[in-house]
Amino acid sequence: MQIELTEKEFRRLLDMVYIGNWILNSCRENDRFQVYDDLEEKLFSLCREHGMGALVQRWEGHDYPSRAFAEGGIHEAIADYEDAVFYDILAEELARRDMSEEEISQNDEEELNSRMDEYYEEFEKNGIENVKVQP
The model's confidence at residue 1, banded by pLDDT at 50, 70 and 90, is very high
**Same-domain status, 116 and 89:** yes
57: β partners: 64
Q: Looking at the domain assignment, is residue 70 inside a domain?
A: no
- Looking at the structure of the chain, the number of domains it has is 2
For residue 49, being part of any structural domain is answered with yes
pLDDT tens per residue across span 5-49:
999 999 999 999 999 999 999 999 999 999 999 999 999 999 999
**Residue range(s) defining the domain that contains residue 90:** 75-126
When computed from its CA atoms, the radius of gyration of the chain, rounded to whole angstroms, is 21
Q: State whether residue 62 is helix, strand or coil.
A: strand
Same domain, 82 and 117: yes
Domain contains 13: yes
Note the pLDDT tens digit of each residue in 83-106. 999 999 999 999 999 999 999 999
Do 86 and 37 sit in the same domain of this protein?
Answer: no
pTM value is 0.80
Length, in residues, of the chain: 135
Domain termination residue (choose one: 17, 39, 65)? 65
Q: Which residues of 92-115 are buried (b: 16+ CB within 10 A; e: fewer)?
A: eebbeeebeeeeeeeeeeebbeeb
CA distances from 40 to 82, 90, 96, 112, 134 (A): 21, 31, 38, 39, 44
Of residues 23, 70, 27, 62, the one with CA closest to residue 43: 62
